[in-house]
Amino acid sequence: MQLALSKARKHYRDVLHNPPVGALIIKNNKIIGLGAHEKFGGAHAEINALKDAERRQESVEGSTIYITLEPCNHSGKTGPCTEAILNSKIKKVIIAEEDNKNGGLQYLKSHGIETEILPNEEARNLIKPWKIFNSSGMPSIDIAVHLGLNGKILDVNSNLDKKIQSLLQKNTQEVISDIKSINSDKNYHFGYYLKNSKDLSLLNNLLKENKAYLANLYIFRSLNFPQNGPNLTLSPQLYDNVLSLKKVSKFKNCILEQYINNKPCLLES
């Protein structure tokens, strides 16, 4: 499943309003097909994995396919992946994340294909912004902020800037330079490097008006700044490490509100 997830993430920025999905076909403990949904409107991950197996001149009959998201059971820009799986005589389908409105697994079960759900947190997080957009129409936004020892937002040109930009580019579809440029018609998951209180106010307005959902908040903390340069601390995964700063505790409470109660939260200046 990790290989399928890795393949899906490589095309995260290319799928527009579709979810990033990866698929891996295994037979006799050997990988015989690997694919991902590579672009909006293009073939889905399962189809590309089947095509890959064909290129390798491998028969998929009796094999097992691992898919990061439940296969589609409807006709859109492409045909149903469930029918392609059924026609290929794959024996077993293992997914990491369900698509409750889809009915793909039920269709496969009703046609005698063995199915299994193997929950995976990375797979869940990978499609979370897409699920939010699909259910609410709201784009998600990842915010990165650089805080000094006093807890105030810093706008400093340094090597840390490159790390922050790299993080946002890796985990989102588009990094924006203006908080007002969020546009769900283009993508559903944006990244923004928050550098001043004016931007913070604009961000709060977007969240209050339900025009965006705060998906992830990354706090970069400077230790002994500026004497020894900035050190990197990531949050929310490591938010306990920043509790010594009063200012940061407000960000921490915001993170907890989001992750424990699953509610969008507002940052405080």
Catalytic residues: 46
20, 129 in Cβ contact below 8 A? no
CA contacts within 13 A on the Cβ side of 250: 10
Helices (H), 56-112: 81-88, 104-110
Helices (H), the chain: 2-10, 45-55, 81-88, 104-110, 121-136, 159-171, 197-208, 246-261
- Angle at 123 (CA atoms; ends 173, 18), nearest 5 degrees: 45
Cα separation, 180 vs 8, in Å, equals 29
Strand ranges (E), 40-102:
64-67, 92-95
User: For 117, left (φ over 0), alpha (ψ -120 to 50), or beta?
Assistant: beta
186, 166 in Cβ contact below 8 A? no
Taking the alpha carbons at both ends of the chain, their separation in whole angstroms is: 41
34, 24 in Cβ contact below 8 A? yes
